Amino acid sequence: MRTHARPWWQRALLTREMLTILILVAAWVVASAVVQGFDGPLTITYLVLDVAPVLLIALPMTLIIATGEIDLSVASVVGLSSVTFGLLHQAGFGLWVALPASVLLGAVCGAVNGTLVAYGGLPSLAVTIGSLALYRGLAVGLLGTTAVTDFPESWTDGATENLGESPWPVVTLGLVVLIAVFAVLLHATPFGRNVLDIGRSSEAARFSGVDVKRTLLVLFVLSGAVSALAGVYYTLRYGSARGDNATGMELQVVAAVLLGGVSIFGGRGAIHGVVAGVLLIGVLSSALRLEGVTVNVINIVIGTALVVSVVAPRIAGGLRVRRRPAVGQGS
């Protein structure tokens, strides 16, 4: 039997992910031609620095959405980890202690979500809307309206400085490593296969011996830990630990993941599509910002793009069904 029904180039090019990549390239080309100052080296620097937290969080979010679940508490974990990092620093702990401690706290936050979803059998949407409020409340409660800002310059500079003379920030290296790790995890490990199977049919996965509950717990813990890491980065990048850091970022993350071709119903998605989705949102925002467009309008654009990306496949699917009724399964 043949391994594939279609030749390799069709399988590589005719994908939902490739569509996002094409739109990203088109957006880049148009912005470079039209937007004054977009083609400068600073664009790359700021693009990477700006999208880094969203990109980080989008990686585990891809896996969670691929199982058909969702984690809306990520931005609150960013806030909570930022505050923890700041308070530990204020209390005199070294940042090499504060960093892992904050990430650990994020993992615990994720474990709480994961336990309630996987072992409590509760819908992740409800659980993580609850913990969104809970973790944000804790973050703001711990630090009030004040901020911790006196971080050592070696750390804050490290979060923003470039690789030698290149326009690429040092953090790019870390991002690339994590992207690779998550891409391998989703696409080339038994664990990743199980994740997609759960999204397609968790019942069938269970009957194949997949520990669905443990898999979900692991994903939520990963999501919490990576969100906390993003929280530390966010703190250093802006040199400020605040309880309201990254408020509302969960929407950008979910938007990027869905724009990247991950099905909100679970069962399909790819890391390279999500990276393109994150960059697409980044390019749109920075181009519009350079044009002097306000944040509200940028949100409208991103929101519209998100709705279209969710609705379009449905419409396209509907049209395909109309033209060619589903192949009869015989009698």
DSSP, collapsed to helix, strand or coil, labels residue 249 as: helix
127-166 footprint of another protein as x/- string (CB under 8 A)? ----------------------------------------
Choose, by CB under 8 A, the member of 1, 7, 292, 314 that binds another protein.
1
The least distance separating another protein from the CB of residue 20, rounded to whole angstroms, comes to 21
Binding residues with another protein: total (CB under 8 A): 34
Dihedral in degrees, nearest 10, Cα atoms 67, 70, 76, 77: -10
Assess contact for 231 and 81: CB atoms under 8 A. Answer: yes
250-289 footprint of another protein as x/- string (CB under 8 A)? -----------------x----------------------
Does the footprint of another protein cover residue 184 (CB under 8 A)? yes
Residue 108 DSSP one-character state: H
The least distance separating another protein from the CB of residue 204, rounded to whole angstroms, comes to 5
CA gap 200, 240 in Å, rounded: 42
CA gap 185, 201 in Å, rounded: 20
Does the footprint of another protein cover residue 9 (CB under 8 A)? no
Q: Which is nearer to another protein, 197 or 250 (CB)?
A: 197
Does the footprint of another protein cover residue 188 (CB under 8 A)? yes
Does the footprint of another protein cover residue 15 (CB under 8 A)? no
Dihedral in degrees, nearest 10, Cα atoms 252, 255, 261, 264: 120
CA gap 35, 288 in Å, rounded: 8
Q: Which residues pair with 313 in a beta bridge?
A: none
Residues that bind another protein (CB under 8 A): 1-5, 184, 188-190, 192-194, 196-197, 200-201, 203-211, 267, 324-331
